[in-house]
A and B are shown apart, each in its own frame.
Chain A
Amino acid sequence: MSQFPGANAAPDDAEYAVVGAPLDVSTTFQPGTRFGPDRIRRFARTFDDYDRRTNSFFTDHSVHDAGDLHAWDDAGEYLDFLEADLREWHDDDVTPLLVGGEHTVSVAGVRAADPDVFLTVDAHLDLRTEYDGNELSHATATRHALDVADEAVIVGARTGSPEEYERAAETDVTVVPPEDVAEWTPDLDGEVYLSVDIDGADPAFAPGTGTTEPFGLTSREMRDVVRSVAPHCLAFDTVEVNDRDDGQAAALAGKLLREFVFTHAAEPSA
C-alpha cells in the first residue's frame, strides 16, 4: 500500500489522519469500493504540494497516513472496530480523514465524531431503513447518521424512494438539489461531519462509482461545498470510489480531501 502523497507526518505529530476503510460488502450495482483507498492515494500523486489559494503546502499540515483498516464481511463488527479506531484519533485531537470504501463506513465515522450536523454530498438520500433486507447497506448511511446527529443536510441529492422523500420532508433533514447548490451557502448549527459520496458528482466527472446518477454536480461545485463547510468540521470522509474508470473519481476524491485540509487548517473551527 502506498501512502497518500504528502501525508508524511508521524502519528504523534499528526493534526490529520488518513484512514482507509476498504469496505465493499453491500455495493448493489458495480462493486469495487475495496479498491477506493488505493486508487485515491495513487491518483493524488500528480497534485502539487503547494496550494495557491491558502498559500500553504500540504506537507506542512501534519497529515499522517494510518494506512487501511482491513475490512471483512461482517459490516456491523467492522463498523465497531473502525469506530474505535477513529475515536482514538479524536481523543488525541487529530481530525480523521476517512477514505472509503462504501458509504456504510460513514456510520462509524459519525459515531466516533458525535457531531451536531451530518452534511453529505450525495446523489442519493440514503435514508432507507434497509436495502435488500440489510440494515447496514450503503443506502442507509444518512438514516444511521441521524441516530447520532441532530440534523442532516444532503447536498446534490436527486433520487430516492417515496419513503425516503417522506423522511427527508421532516424538519431535521435539508435537501439541496443539484440546481440549487451553486447558490447555496451553509447555515450550520454546531459541529459538522462532512461526508463526500463521490456519486454526488455527475458521472461525467466521476464515473468510477457503484451507482452512477446523471444530472449531478460539477467538480467545481463539489469543491465549493467542501470549502464552505470545512471550517465547521470535526471530521471528513470521502466514499464510494471504485476502480471502474481511468482514475477520474479517485482524482476528484483525493483533490477534495486536500481542499478540506487546506481550508480546515487555514480556518479551524470557525
Chain B
Amino acid sequence: MAREQTEVRELQEGNYVMINDTPSVITAYSTSKPGKHGSAKARVEGQGVFDGGQKRNFTNPVDAKVWVPIITRKQGQVVSTSSGEMQVMDLETYETFTMRVPDDLDVSADDEIEFLEYEDQRKVV
C-alpha cells in the first residue's frame, strides 16, 4: 500500500490524507484547545483527489494516527484518443493505460500531460 502513517497534528492545508479510505487534499485545518476535561482536537476538511472533489471531513484528537496516501506526480504521453478516452504512456515506466479525457482538456496523440497517480487511480493535472 502506497501510504504512510502520521499523527493528525502533523497535517496542514494542502497535504494529502485519507478520509473515509479516500485520498483527499486538505482544504481546511483547525485545532481546539483541550480545556480541563478534554483532549486537543483537530478538525480536518478535505476534498477527494480522484472523485471530482467530494467534500469529506473528520475530527480527531491531535495525537491520533492517520494514513497519508503517497500520491505521485508523473509525466505521460498521449498515444491515441478515441470516444472520450485516451491511451497514455507513463514516460517513466513506459507502461500504457487508458484514461477518460477530462471535459476541460483538449488532447491529441503525442501530447505530453502531467497526472497524479495513487495505486490504480489517476487524474490529469
- How many residues of A are in contact with the other chain, CB < 8 A? 14
Interface residues of A in 70-105 (CB under 8 A from B): 70, 72, 74, 77-78, 80-81, 83-85, 87-88, 91
What number of A-B contacts does a CB cutoff of 8 Å give?
33
Interface residues of B in 29-46 (CB under 8 A from A): 30-35, 38, 43, 45
A188 to chain B: which residues have CB within 8 Å?
Answer: none
Q: Is B57 an interface residue (CB 8 A)?
A: yes
In the complex with contacts A72-B33, A84-B43, A91-B28 CB distance below 8 A: no
In the complex with contacts A84-B43, A91-B55, A77-B35 CB distance below 8 A: no
Decide if A81 touches B45 in the complex (CB within 8 Å). no
- How many residues of B are in contact with the other chain, CB < 8 A? 12
In the complex with contacts A70-B38, A87-B45, A81-B32 CB distance below 8 A: yes
**What DSSP secondary structure best describes chain A's contact surface?**
helix
B7-30 Cβ-contact flags toward A at 8 Å (1 or 0): 000000000000000000000101
Decide if B32 touches A70 in the complex (CB within 8 Å). yes
> For residue A80, which residue of chain B has the nearest CB?
B30
Q: Is A10 an interface residue (CB 8 A)?
A: no
Most buried by B among A84, A88, A91: A84
Can you show 14 pairs from A to B with CB atoms below 8 A apart?
A: A70-B32, A70-B34, A70-B38, A77-B33, A78-B32, A81-B31, A81-B32, A81-B43, A84-B45, A87-B45, A88-B43, A88-B45, A88-B57, A91-B57
Extra inter-chain contacts (12) besides given A77-B31, A78-B32, A81-B32, CB under 8 Å: A69-B32, A70-B34, A72-B35, A77-B33, A81-B31, A83-B30, A84-B30, A84-B43, A87-B28, A87-B45, A88-B57, A91-B57
Residues of chain A whose beta carbon lies under 8 Å from any beta carbon of chain B: 69-70, 72, 74, 77-78, 80-81, 83-85, 87-88, 91
